[in-house]
Amino acid sequence: MKEDPKHSVVVGPSESMSKSKKNTIDPEDIINNYGADSARLFILSDSPPEKDVQWSDEGILSSNKFIQKLWQLDQIISEEIAKDHDEDPKNNLSKYTNQYLKKMTENLTNFSYNKLIANLHEMYSFLSREIKRNYTKKTIVENYSKILTTMMPIIPHFASECISKNNIKIEKAWPLYDEKIIIEENINFVVQINGKKRGLIETYKDINEENLIELVLKDNALKKYLEGKKIKRKIFVKSKLINLIL
């Protein structure tokens, strides 16, 4: 195994590994005990490439446990693929996948390898909740194949096993993301009354002033500030806030 010139490993706070000091860690032992993917995940998650890797037993164990969690998630995804539900719910899965791809692409381009691992953890948390919402086989495979492709440079053995087990065909190129899907359709408008924030109204971002005021007047939490009072002036900032002067 060739040494990565960007990433040397240190045992203690400031002590670099050296054969003369007899404090080296045998990569073969790490791989035999935890697997090559766990070793890769640990090295990438530990620190930016310009810094030394701080070795810790807790770190490599944590990486190994995370891969086990990803494997359990893959089992659930396989079951959902097999169910092949008839119709998708609101497609949060595709939207999130595109957001995830954008983060992964930017962090890979910037050599922010530790941030890539953080993105993987975020993806795991999201999929664990979202995947059970009865998506069609087509939607799951389409999005999961892209996610697995992004894992290939990080944990290639795991990704390859999941691709094979689920009979997924992946593109050889890095997956692209769609900016149009990433754009938020709904936003929280800030509602101010006499300049003070009194609440939030969730609605589509391009709503006009008239329709937004209708929603404000119907909102139970805001009624107490408006009942029996006349709106003298309205300040509307598109896609951001509305301020009602009484």
Which residue intervals of the chain are DSSP H helices?
27-34, 36-46, 57-83, 92-109, 113-130, 137-151, 156-165, 179-182, 209-218, 220-226
Specify if 42 maps to a domain.
Answer: yes
Q: Is residue 1 part of a domain?
A: no
Residue with tokens 């300049």: 195
Q: Assign residue 38 the CATH number of its domain.
A: 1.10.730.10
| pLDDT grade for 52, boundaries at 50, 70 and 90 | low
**Domain-ending residue, one of 136, 155, 179:** 179
CATH number of the domain where residue 200 is located: 3.10.20.590
Last residue of a domain, one of 179, 213, 234: 179
Angle at CA of residue 64, ends 71 and 127, nearest 5°: 40
103 and 145 housed in the same domain = yes
Q: What is the pLDDT of residue 53?
A: 60
* Residue 30 is assigned to a structural domain of this protein: yes
In a domain, 43, yes or no: yes
**Spatial separation of the C-alpha atoms in residues 103 and 60, rounded to whole Å:** 24
The whole domain housing 169 covers: 9-179
**Which of 124, 158, 179 is the endpoint of a domain?**
179
Residue indicated by tokens 């990704």: 159
Can you give the pLDDT at residue 105?
Answer: 94
Residue 3 domain flag: no
Residue 80, domain member (yes or no)? yes
Q: Is the Cβ–Cβ distance between 76 and 162 less than 8 Å?
A: no
Distance CA 48, CA 69 (A): 24
Find the range with the poorest average confidence among 5-19, 23-37, 100-114. 5-19
Encoded tokens for 59: 């770190």
For 54, list phi and psi in degrees, rounded to 5: -90, 110
Among 146, 85, 114, which Cα is nearest to 6's?
114
pTM over 0.85: no
Q: Total structural domains in the chain?
A: 2
Residues 148 and 205 in one domain: no
